[in-house]
Structure 1
Amino acid sequence: MSLKRSKPIDRLYREVADSDLVIVPDSPLADALNRRLERPHFGPFAITPRRLATARRETAEDRTAFLEVIGETDLGWKEVAYAVGNVLQCWEYRGRADAILEYDAFDTHATRTVVDVVDSLQTSSRLLADYEIDVGADGSVAVVGESQLTNLERSILPDEYESIDRFTEDAFALPPFRLFESPAAIVDAILDTVTRDNADEIGIVLDASSAYSPLVESALETAEIPYYGGPDFMDDRDHRAFVQLLRRVTAGSDTRVRAVRALLSCLDATVSVEHDEKRLVDVDDPEVEWLREFIGRADALTFEAALHAYEERTERTLEAFRDELERLGLLAEPITADAIDRLIFYLETYEVPIDRDDEGVLLADAKSASFVDRPVVFYLGLDEDWTRDSPNRPWVDRDEEYGRNVDGFQSLLQSGVERHYLVQDAAGGAPVTPCLYFDELLETEFDRFSDLESVRHARTARPTGGGFDREPLATAVESERLETISQSSLNAYANSPRDYAFGRLVDSPDRNRFVEGTLFHDFAEVVATHPGFVDDARLEDVVDLVIEETRPFHRSIDLETQRTRYRIGLETIREYLEGHAPIETAFLTPSSGRGTNAVADYFDRPVDSPATERWFDDESLRLKGKIDLVRSPTQLVDFKSGSRTSASQVTERASIEEPSDRPNFQAVCYLAYWRRQRPDERLEFTFFHFLETLDDVVTGDASLEDCLTTVTYRPVAFDEFVQSRTVFDELRNDAANKCNKTFSKTDYETYLSVFDTRDVPRTRDADELADSPFGEALRERLLDAVGDYKYVRKGCTQAFRHLCRYRKSGYFVEDLDAFERFVDEQLEAVNRYRRGEDRFPVDGRAGEPNYRYVDNREMLLTDPRSARDDTRTPTGAGDEGAEVGR
């Protein structure tokens, strides 16, 4: 594969060395030629048309024109920006400022106003349009890359000049692409080469808007390697923070702490992550007091006063931002939503010039540069984002523009003596598409970089002294072995082991559902401990308490709705416990609860009932947890504020054989523990969804039964249970009609005889049961005994559904035995990962995690490449507050 060979800079210099003036299309090429000038020379030698016309005082004329027009007219800022961009662009391609008025769609009042203003300004376009090259009678002019000049730039060329092609007739063979696994791996590879000593010899070409840009800048800063050509005006930390401060003024009272965390950091305010989901105005923390006070009085401030307040708070001066506000005429204006919107629009539309150092590694934007004069050049990405957008305007010849872009791309790729093309072959599980221009330049068919000549690179360890070095520990530290796990942690681990690991290491914010859920549970404990104590008046006090505790999470307009919701939930809990109070609790120890109870503290009542909030930590079973209510020796109750699920959904989500993408092991976990306390007894675990009938309460049709889901445990094996007389009687009397009719015409001995020759399969699927040897034998036996009638066949189908319903709605001995083995296996795997023998994987038991139930989404690198990334999940992730092991 090959491209047109670009002339090396030294050869290009030799071809123009005898000229008095050399016109080139871009500044880096001009600077490179000037650095090679070997003779005294008066005036400019190599220069771009705009630099020549402006005497090297080239500025961003679109911003200059915008500032001038908004200062002289009453036009809206967006309207001005649109018109200025069109006028200057058309001027570039047509050579005249008023040429745009020849296009009816653009001949508007705003455009005419801008043309009148801009045409009178001393912009680079105005100076370029009026400029004439004069090198004297004996002077000579050379033009390099004439095809890359615009019409306006060509207008300054004299009648006679020498045109120098930037390319030769020879072909340029691309070096192989170097394939890396991630942007971080590419940056690491660069840091293996770049040092403070050789920084002036290195150029890095990248898409300035890509992820590579902040990664490279951060890496160079960390390694204390100088660079230039990187951050812009709004990349300054304080500039961004001040704009965010202004945004908060008009954001309303619903602003959450997480939305201003970066701003708080710039204000040197440290706020606990637990407040992230709370409204800023309701957070009682001195660290946010200044920000709350500022927002409260901002409508009485000007931009200048607001900037002064920020500078005073941070003890940092923002002179460049003050100058920009003054240019815009905003400095003395009051802070209003409209003024803030105009400022933000300006900062997002125009690049505000900043003073830059011109030493160190050169960072060049792939969409604007066509030459980099450095001995060693790294090209990062080279993907479709490198493709330049051609203006979609009637005055632009898009084919000609595309050709200019292709030539610029070819020239850029050949910059430097030593070139390295560092790319990703895939990202996020999908191939990375190479830059569109490769389709034009290469004859080879390809879809990704690995289809072309390439070399794959594994990520290498960073050398000592670069980046963040690791300090070895004086002694080896072994991870603490986890002996027990809670059902919530088991759920998280089954969904995504890596999310589970980060959940043990990273603090998470308080959430509304957690706070209100705790208060509902506290209320239930008080009601269960003190029957009859909570009358209607006290219940209203609890509603007030819940509202006060959850206020930071709610908008003001939602509080009345939430008050109704809380009242109904509390009333439903009280009603349930009045009819289902704990019974026969003498077998329980006096108290095993822990923690505080806000409702009990409010009423100054003790909560020492042995039946509520019972914590357990069973190392022999390797499970721990909290039982909300022990209603009786064989009945456990758990209070839920979420939507009700059926018993079959409960057992399905806890399935070991067929992993669910919504794993939930709570019922089976607690039943496994409780059968150790009550062996050989039939047990029930009931979920009480106390908000399930919220709508029905409003309409007066609520029923407590609609709130309850009960899962059973029978202390027998399933195959023993289904051949019991109890099951046979249910098939005769309590199943569907055809099933009842069929089994009522046979006897128990006939039913039992099937089990002598066939085993009952362990399945929840009625069709699978029907097609099994057992199912076929039962059907044949009933057809023989009752007769080959249609209702008999239908009755058998209903019988299979009825038998499967037992497994769907509860557990048997073998189910809990299998679950206990499963817990052992999972804990052994967790401890293996904690020891560092392998990484915590992203995928859970059901494959890709269900991201609705992932708490640390931003930390899960789902690309397979991440499995070999050096940014590894820390080993030793604890569980339920356990200390980190490594």
Structure 2
Amino acid sequence: MSLKQSKSIERLYQEVADYDLVIVPDSPLADALNRRLERPHFGSFAITPRRLATRRRETAEDRTAFLEIIDETDLSWKEIAYTVGNVLQCWEYRGSADAILEYDAFDTPATRTVVDLVDSLQTSSRLLTEYEIDGGTDKSVVVVGERQLTNLERSILPNEYASIDRFTGKTFDLPAFRIFDSPAAIVDAVLDTVTQENADDVGIVLNSSSDYSPLIESALETAEISYYGGPGFMDVRDHRAFVQLLRCTTAGSDTRVHSVKPLLSCLGATVPVEHDEKRLVDVDDPEIDWLREFTRQTDALTFEAALNAYEDRTGRTLEAFRDELEELGVLEDPITADAIDRLAFYLETYEVPIDRDNEGVLLADAKSASYVDRPVVFYLGLDEEWTHDSPNRPWVDRDAEYERNIDSFQSLLQSGATQHYLVQDVAGGSPITPCLYFDELLETEFERFSDLESVRHDRSNRSLGDGFDPEPLDVAVEPERVEAVSQSSLNSYINSPRDYFFGRLVETPDKHYFVEGNLFHDFAEFVVNHPEFVDDACLEEVVDVMIEETRAFHRTLDLETQRTRYRIGLETICEYLDEQTPTEMTFLTPSSGWGTNFFAEYFDRDVDSPATERWFEDEDLRLKGKIDLVQSPTQLVDFKSGSRNSASQVIKHASIEEPSDKPNFQALCYLTYWRQQQPAEPLEFTFFHFLETLDDVVAGEATLEDCLTTVTYHPAAFDEYVQSQLVYEELCEDAANDCNKTFSKTDYETYVSVFDTHEIPKTRDADEMADSAFGEALVEHLVEDVGDYKYVKNGCMQAFRHLCGYRKEGYFEEDIDAFERFVDEQLEELNRYRRGENRFPICGRADEPNYRYVNNRDMLLTESRPTRETTCSIQIEETVPTDPTDSEVSR
């Protein structure tokens, strides 16, 4: 892999040392040459055209022009910014301010207004236009990298000057790309190498808008390593927080706590995660009282008043922000949504200059720099985001622009005496595309970094310096084994083991459906214990209480809708429990209640029925959970506020053989446990979806049956059960018409004789059963016994559907046995992950997780893992060139 070799800074200095004035395309190169000046020199030595013409450090003239113009015209801020940018850009390429008017699409009243105003300002473009280098006989001028100068910058050159290319005639061999797992791993590797002592020798090149920028800045701050060149005006935490405070004043009452967490942090307020999804105005927490009261002010606030309030609250002054508001002329303006939008647009569009201490690690933006004057340079990312966006304007020669950019890119990659290219190969399951300039520069065909010369680094060998081996713990820690699992944890683990893992570590906010669900469940338990207490007045009071408890989650305009929803749900629960009062509870122990009950405390009544909220934890089955209602010794009920699934869908989502992307093992888990309590008994597990008929209730057409889904358990093997007299009678009486007609004309002995010679397949597919040897034999027997009629064959097909229906809507002994083994296997696997034998994988049994059911999506970094391990150790040493005219040999 080779590029055009860039001349080292020492070699460039030797070539320009004898000239009086050196014109260079960018400031870092000028500063590097000036630092190497070995003789007294009057005036400028190496300098950029703009700094030479303006006699000051370069500033963003588009921002200064914008600030001058906003008070001189009625144009909107966005239109001014857009037009100023076009005028200055065209001026750069064409050499005059009014050149843009030659293009019909840009010859507008707004453009003419801006041209007149800009042309009268002392911008750097104006000074460049008027400036010309005095190339007298006693003053020698040389230009380095002339092709990288714009037309306007070239206009200042004298008639006679020398030109020096930034590149040699040789090639530069790129070091191997170092491939890491994630941006965090790359940053960790850099921090393993950079220290407070060698910080001044290190440069880091990155895309300033990428994830690397905040990560590296935060890491350097944590390590107390000084740096400069990175964070801008709006990277200051208080500046961002103040803009968010302004937004809060006009955001309305629907602002959620999670959306203002950064602001609350800056205000010194710590709010529990549980409140994140709630409306700010409805959270009763003293930590947010100040912000809540501030946003409720009815008097018109000015920007200055808001800034004063923020400074008083935090005890920190924001002088730079105050100066910028004054510069914009809005300090005393009232705060409105439009005014905030204008301010935010300005801060997003222009980089406000800030004073920096130029010491420590140098952070350079990959799209702005073409040279970094540090002995050791790290390049982070090097992906397609490093590619410049060439202006799509008629005055821009895009081919010439591309050549300038690619020269800058090649020069940048060769900065310093030692270069390290730290990259990712995959992110989010997709390959990362290297910077598009590599397509032009490298002859090799590639799609990702691993297609090029590269070295992979995993977590154990990510370091780039001494002492990269992790320090062992003084005492080995044996992780606690998971001995039992709940159905919800099992569902999460099966969907994504890593999401399950993070769910054990990370707090999650309260959700409205959790709070509502708990209230509905508590109400159902309360009704079972006190059915006589619950009347219309009680229901209305319960609705009021539920509205109050969930108010923080809902917009004010939605509360009436929620009130109707709650009332219908409560009435449906009452109707069901009135018709299905729990029976035969004497077999239950009275001490098996679990947790507290909101309505029991609210109404000051006990809930002590042994039939409700029964907690279980079975060490042998390794299962635990909570049963909402024991309807009878053989029937369990679970209250659900979500949408109803059919029994066949429930069975499908709990399949072990064909994993579902919506795993739900609740019915299977509870039936497995209850089988131990009621052995040899047929069991039922019923999901009661009390909000399923919400629309039907409003229309007056609701029935309780539409709310119920029941999954059965038969205490026998499937092949034994379907041979029973009971099943035969169902085929004669309760199946489809042709099935009833066919089987009622034969006898039980004929039916059961098929099982003596053929094994019934354990399938839920009727066609598969029909095509089996058993299916063919059953049809043959019935045709022989009843007759070769069309209804007989059709009746047999209906019988196959009926027999498969038992397995589609219920479980048999072998299913529960298999589930018990399955739970053991999953827990053993889970405990292996907990011991660190392997990482918790992202993908579950159905491969890629169903992200609708993932709770920690932002923590699931889905890049593929490297398989090859290579040790990496890189030293930062002072580099002393052996030959000042050819320092490349030091590489």
Query: 1:293 & 1:347 partners in 2: Cα distance?
Result: 27
Q: Which residue of 2 aligns with 1:612?
A: 612
Aligned partners of 1:53 and 1:127 also within 8 Å = yes
SS in 2 for 1:297: coil
Q: Which residue of 2 aligns with 1:199?
A: 199
Matches within 5 A, 1:586-597: 586-597=586-597
Deviation at 1:467, TM superposition (A): 12
Query: Does residue 1:394 correspond to 2:399, yes or no?
Result: no
* Greater shift in the superposed pair: 466-475 or 713-722: 466-475
SS in 2 for 1:5: strand
Q: Which residue of 1 aligns with 2:172?
A: 172
Matches within 5 A, 1:51-450: 51-297=51-297, 300-450=300-450
Query: 2:264 & 2:866 partners in 1: Cα distance?
Result: 32
Aligned partners of 1:223 and 1:467 also within 8 Å = no
Deviation at 1:442, TM superposition (A): 2.1
* Greater shift in the superposed pair: 168-177 or 70-79: 168-177
Query: Does residue 1:502 correspond to 2:507, yes or no?
Result: no
Aligned partners of 2:193 and 2:463 also within 8 Å = no
| AA of the residue aligned to 2:79 | E
TM-score of the superposition, structure 2-length normalised? 0.95
Query: 1:655 & 1:509 partners in 2: Cα distance?
Result: 31
Aligned partners of 2:87 and 2:97 also within 8 Å = yes
Q: Which residue of 1 aligns with 2:861?
A: 861
Over residues 343-366 of structure 1, what are the superposed CA-to-partner deviations in whole Å (9 max), with x where a residue is unaligned? 100000000000111111211111
Deviation at 1:12, TM superposition (A): 1.8
Over residues 764-809 of structure 1, what are the superposed CA-to-partner deviations in whole Å (9 max), with x where a residue is unaligned? 1222222222222222222332333333222222111110100111
Aligned partners of 1:228 and 1:363 also within 8 Å = yes
Query: 2:457 & 2:499 partners in 1: Cα distance?
Result: 28
| AA of the residue aligned to 2:536 | D
Over residues 617-659 of structure 1, what are the superposed CA-to-partner deviations in whole Å (9 max), with x where a residue is unaligned? 2222222211111121111111111111111111111111211
Over residues 262-302 of structure 1, what are the superposed CA-to-partner deviations in whole Å (9 max), with x where a residue is unaligned? 11111111111111111110000000100101111175221
Aligned partners of 2:387 and 2:437 also within 8 Å = yes
| AA of the residue aligned to 2:191 | L
Query: 1:441 & 1:11 partners in 2: Cα distance?
Result: 23
Query: 2:430 & 2:505 partners in 1: Cα distance?
Result: 31
Aligned partners of 1:298 and 1:335 also within 8 Å = no
Matches within 5 A, 1:702-717: 702-717=702-717
TM-score of the superposition, structure 1-length normalised? 0.95
| AA of the residue aligned to 1:186 | I
SS in 1 for 2:70: helix
Q: Which residue of 2 aligns with 1:601?
A: 601
Query: Does residue 1:815 correspond to 2:821, yes or no?
Result: no
How many percent identity over aligned positions? 79
SS in 2 for 1:72: coil
Query: Does residue 1:690 correspond to 2:680, yes or no?
Result: no
Query: Does residue 1:768 correspond to 2:762, yes or no?
Result: no
SS in 1 for 2:624: strand
Q: Which residue of 1 aligns with 2:883?
A: none
Query: 1:831 & 1:156 partners in 2: Cα distance?
Result: 73
Deviation at 1:754, TM superposition (A): 0.9
SS in 2 for 1:367: coil
Query: 1:460 & 1:231 partners in 2: Cα distance?
Result: 30
Aligned partners of 2:842 and 2:848 also within 8 Å = yes
Aligned partners of 1:20 and 1:135 also within 8 Å = no
Q: CA separation of 1:530/1:464 partners in 2, compared to 1, >3 Å: closer, same or farther?
A: farther
Over residues 133-177 of structure 1, what are the superposed CA-to-partner deviations in whole Å (9 max), with x where a residue is unaligned? 124332111111111111111111111111222223222232332
Q: CA separation of 1:462/1:144 partners in 2, compared to 1, >3 Å: closer, same or farther?
A: closer
* Greater shift in the superposed pair: 292-301 or 114-123: 292-301
Q: Which residue of 2 aligns with 1:701?
A: 701
SS in 1 for 2:296: helix
Q: Which residue of 1 aligns with 2:624?
A: 624
SS in 2 for 1:71: coil
Over residues 99-157 of structure 1, what are the superposed CA-to-partner deviations in whole Å (9 max), with x where a residue is unaligned? 11111211222211211111111111111111121243321111111111111111111
Aligned partners of 1:713 and 1:811 also within 8 Å = yes
Q: Which residue of 2 aligns with 1:487?
A: 487
Over residues 73-116 of structure 1, what are the superposed CA-to-partner deviations in whole Å (9 max), with x where a residue is unaligned? 22211111011101110110111011111112112222112111
| AA of the residue aligned to 2:209 | S
Aligned partners of 2:484 and 2:617 also within 8 Å = yes
Q: CA separation of 1:123/1:464 partners in 2, compared to 1, >3 Å: closer, same or farther?
A: closer
Deviation at 1:430, TM superposition (A): 2.0
Q: Which residue of 2 aligns with 1:800?
A: 800
Matches within 5 A, 1:607-686: 607-686=607-686
Q: Which residue of 2 aligns with 1:517?
A: 517
Query: Does residue 1:544 correspond to 2:550, yes or no?
Result: no
Aligned partners of 1:182 and 1:865 also within 8 Å = no
Query: 1:4 & 1:790 partners in 2: Cα distance?
Result: 83
Query: 1:131 & 1:525 partners in 2: Cα distance?
Result: 87
Aligned partners of 1:299 and 1:336 also within 8 Å = no
Query: 2:782 & 2:432 partners in 1: Cα distance?
Result: 63
Q: Which residue of 1 aligns with 2:887?
A: none
Deviation at 1:473, TM superposition (A): 5.9
Aligned partners of 1:639 and 1:687 also within 8 Å = yes
Aligned partners of 1:202 and 1:376 also within 8 Å = yes
Matches within 5 A, 1:39-58: 39-58=39-58
Q: Which residue of 2 aligns with 1:788?
A: 788
Query: 2:189 & 2:524 partners in 1: Cα distance?
Result: 59
| AA of the residue aligned to 1:331 | L
Query: 2:374 & 2:359 partners in 1: Cα distance?
Result: 12
Deviation at 1:407, TM superposition (A): 1.3
Q: CA separation of 1:406/1:836 partners in 2, compared to 1, >3 Å: closer, same or farther?
A: closer
Query: 2:290 & 2:470 partners in 1: Cα distance?
Result: 38
* Greater shift in the superposed pair: 420-429 or 847-856: 420-429
Q: Which residue of 1 aligns with 2:455?
A: 455
SS in 2 for 1:301: coil
SS in 2 for 1:396: coil
Query: 1:667 & 1:109 partners in 2: Cα distance?
Result: 72
Query: 2:273 & 2:464 partners in 1: Cα distance?
Result: 33
Q: Which residue of 2 aligns with 1:17?
A: 17
SS in 1 for 2:215: helix
Gaps of 5+ in 2: 870-891
| AA of the residue aligned to 1:796 | C
Aligned partners of 2:277 and 2:511 also within 8 Å = yes
Query: 2:298 & 2:710 partners in 1: Cα distance?
Result: 56
Deviation at 1:591, TM superposition (A): 3.8
| AA of the residue aligned to 1:721 | Y
* Greater shift in the superposed pair: 697-706 or 66-75: 66-75
* Greater shift in the superposed pair: 58-67 or 106-115: 106-115
Gaps of 5+ in 1: 870-886
| AA of the residue aligned to 1:571 | E
Query: 1:199 & 1:647 partners in 2: Cα distance?
Result: 65
Deviation at 1:179, TM superposition (A): 2.5
Aligned partners of 1:763 and 1:769 also within 8 Å = yes
RMSD after superposition: 2.1
Deviation at 1:593, TM superposition (A): 1.1
Query: 1:445 & 1:828 partners in 2: Cα distance?
Result: 46
Q: CA separation of 1:468/1:608 partners in 2, compared to 1, >3 Å: closer, same or farther?
A: farther
| AA of the residue aligned to 1:648 | S
Over residues 305-341 of structure 1, what are the superposed CA-to-partner deviations in whole Å (9 max), with x where a residue is unaligned? 1111111111111110111111111111111111111
Q: CA separation of 1:531/1:466 partners in 2, compared to 1, >3 Å: closer, same or farther?
A: farther
